[in-house]
Amino acid sequence: MANIKSAKKRVLIEKERRVQNNSVKSEIKTYIRNFKDALATDVEKAAEIYKTLASKLDSAARENVIHQNSANRKKAHFAKLLDNAKSAK
């Protein structure tokens, strides 16, 4: 544990941010799982979930929870999956 008061405060703040960041990442993973499940059954529902997922990824990237390139890469990957599912149908 840190000895300096400001270092102790940083430890507490980092803990709070870690909890918040993990919550955001978990939410994104849930939307990804829902998107993949919907993609297998209902393409229209998957398209709606994709919009929300893209928004959540952009928000997480803006807040520096995940890297911007990672968010863009995931959005492109899921958009491609969605397009392939639409064209196959």
Residue 59 in domain: yes
Tens digits of residue pLDDT in 22-48: 999 999 999 999 999 999 999 999 999
Provide DSSP, 7-23. Answer: HHHHHHHHHHHHHHHHH
Tens digits of residue pLDDT in 60-87: 999 999 999 999 999 999 999 999 999 9
Is the overall model pTM greater than 0.85, yes or no? yes
Residue 15 in domain: no
Tell me if 68 sits within 8 A of 61, measured CB to CB. Answer: yes
Residue 13 in domain: no
Q: Which residue has the higher pLDDT, 88 or 7?
A: 7
Total domains in the chain come to: 1
Residue 74 in domain: yes
CA–CA separation, 75 vs 42, rounded Å?
Answer: 19
Residue 41 in domain: yes
Residue 7 in domain: no
Domain that holds residue 76: 28-88
Across residues 49-67, what is the average pLDDT?
97
